[in-house]
């Protein structure tokens, strides 16, 4: 990183820390694990934003990445990674690859990330970007996230980076017993809540974390999944 990028990264990490403290009453988290913060510090966020927006890469807010999609604010990326409660041997599913930033953060925390993106152009660009930057434990597939990716299930955690009107049944089916699904649920223009859904002996325990604002999780009428390398 350049000196300016290092300064931006330090500012981003400080902003995350402040927001953790600000939201502690809602989330129940006074701090995030060192591994999560180390992952946030390791991934070069400026490589995951569109050309011309690099100067805003370390701001604690979302940014447009084209096709009506966004890269989530750093605090939310860190929070969702923290809530997943995964470890070095975990295999996780991400729904909504976007630019690949959340997948890159997860790749620092787990053994393998499988990531689904509905928009073909974003899926292709993210796959190329992740491999070019050395995140070789991430596999991207173009497909409908509502159906999940059954081939590699059950997963030790599933993270959804767009708001669904309901919890997709396929994702629950593909979640390992005892594992967590972290998902924003709500209408595109109405209230949304970040949920943690834990699967226990086939039953679900839902915990509301805090209000959020995500782009909607899009559904394809024709799902033609393509795995990208």
Among 195, 190, 179, residue whose Cα is nearest residue 89:
179
- Residue appearing with tokens 């081939």: 151
72 is catalytic: yes
Q: Which long-range contacts (CB under 8 A, 24 or more apart) does 169-178 make?
A: 170/146, 171/93, 171/95, 172/197, 172/199, 172/204, 173/148, 174/93, 174/148, 174/149, 174/150, 175/199, 177/201, 177/202
- Exactly one of 31, 72, 107, 153 is catalytic; which is it? 72
Q: What angle do CA 70, 121, 77 make, to 5 degrees?
A: 30
State both tokens at 9. 């990264």
Ranges of beta strands (E only) in the chain are 63-66, 69-71, 91-95, 112-117, 138-142, 155-160, 175-186, 192-200, 203-212, 226-228
What strands, in cross-sheet order, belong to the sheet with 155-160? 203-212, 192-200, 175-186, 155-160, 91-95, 112-117, 138-142, 226-228
Catalytic residues: 72
């Amino acid at each position: 990183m350049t000196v300016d990028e290092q300064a931006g990264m330090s500012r981003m990490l400080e902003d995350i820390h402040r927001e953790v403290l600000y939201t502690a009453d809602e989330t129940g988290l006074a701090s995030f694990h060192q591994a999560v913060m180390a992952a946030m510090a390791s991934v070069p966020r400026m490589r995951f934003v569109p050309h011309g927006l690099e100067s805003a890469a370390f701001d604690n807010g979302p940014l447009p990445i084209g096709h009506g999609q966004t890269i989530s604010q750093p605090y939310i990326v860190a929070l969702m990674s923290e809530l997943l409660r995964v470890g070095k041997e975990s295999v996780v599913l991400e729904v909504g690859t976007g630019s690949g930033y959340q997948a890159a953060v997860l790749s620092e925390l787990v053994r393998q990330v499988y990531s689904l993106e509905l928009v073909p152009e974003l899926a292709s660009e993210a796959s190329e970007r992740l491999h070019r930057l050395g995140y070789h434990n991430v596999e991207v597939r173009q497909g409908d996230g509502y159906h999940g990716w059954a081939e590699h299930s059950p997963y030790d955690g599933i993270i959804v980076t767009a708001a669904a009107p309901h919890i997709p049944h396929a994702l629950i089916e593909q979640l390992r017993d005892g594992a967590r699904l972290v998902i924003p649920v709500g209408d595109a223009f109405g209230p949304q809540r970040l949920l943690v859904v834990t699967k226990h002996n086939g039953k679900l325990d839902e915990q509301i974390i805090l209000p959020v604002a995500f782009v909607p999780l899009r559904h394809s009428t024709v799902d033609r999944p393509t795995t990208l390398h």
